[in-house]
Amino acid sequence: MKSKRVDIHVGECYASKDGSIIVTILGSCVAACLFDPVNRIGGMNHILMPGRADIKHFDEPTRYSINAMELLINRMMDLGGDRDKIVAKVFGGAHLIPTISKENMMGEKNVSFTLEFLKREGIRVISRDVGGTDARKIFFHTNTGDVFLRRIPSTYQNWMIKKESLELKRIQKIAHLPGEVTFFHE
C-alpha cells in the first residue's frame, strides 16, 4: 500500500495512524515530529514563532509553538495515541540571515522553546537536527517514526560568499600598485 503524502506549511500540523508521509520545508521555523511507537501514530507541526498567540493574533494560533504543540498532541490522542508513549524528533531553527544578531535570531528561540516544552511535558527527544545555516526538507513517516532529511544550502550565504570572493580578488589585483600620497604643507 502506498503512503499518502501530506505537505504542511507554516502554522499547520497533521497527525495520522494510516501511514502518511508528512513533508515540510524549514528555515528558522521548527518542526516537532511526534510518534507513539506502540500505537503507530505520528504527527508533525510547523512552528513559526515561540510562545503563544495573543488576542491580536487569535486567527493564526498554530504559528506559535505552544499552540502548535498542544494541538498536535491532542490530535494524536484523538487518534488513539498514548501521551505517555510519545517520543519526539525536532528539526529546523536555522540561522539563514547572517546580518541578524544571535540574540534576535528566531530559529534559536524556536528550538529552545520547543525543547523546553517537550522536557516540561515529559516527552523524550530521541533525535534532533537543529541550528546551522541550512534550510531543511523533512519527510516524516507516521507509521514508523522514520524521518528523512534533505539539507538545502542557504542561497543568501552562497551569494555573500561569491560577493566576498570577487571583492577579495579585486583587492588582491590592486594591492601591489602604488597609491597616491598627499603631503600637507603649512
Domain ranges for the chain, please list them.
5-174
Mean pLDDT score across all residues of the chain:
83
Tens-place pLDDT, residues 28-48: 889 999 999 999 999 999 988
Q: Would you say residue 117 has pLDDT above 60?
A: yes
Q: How confident is the model at residue 58 (pLDDT cuts 50, 70, 90)?
A: very low
CATH top-level class for 5-174? alpha beta
Please spell the DSSP secondary structure of the chain, one letter per residue: -PPPEEE--TT-EEEESS--EEEEEESS-EEEEEEETTTTEEEEE-B-BSS---GGGTT-GGGBHHHHHHHHHHHHHHTT--GGG-EEEEEE-----TTS-GGG-HHHHHHHHHHHHHHHTT-EEEEEEE-SS-EEEEEEETTT--EEEEEE--HHHHHHHHHHHHHHHHHHHHTTSPPP------
Q: How high is the pLDDT of residue 115?
A: 95
Q: Would you say residue 116 has pLDDT above 70?
A: yes
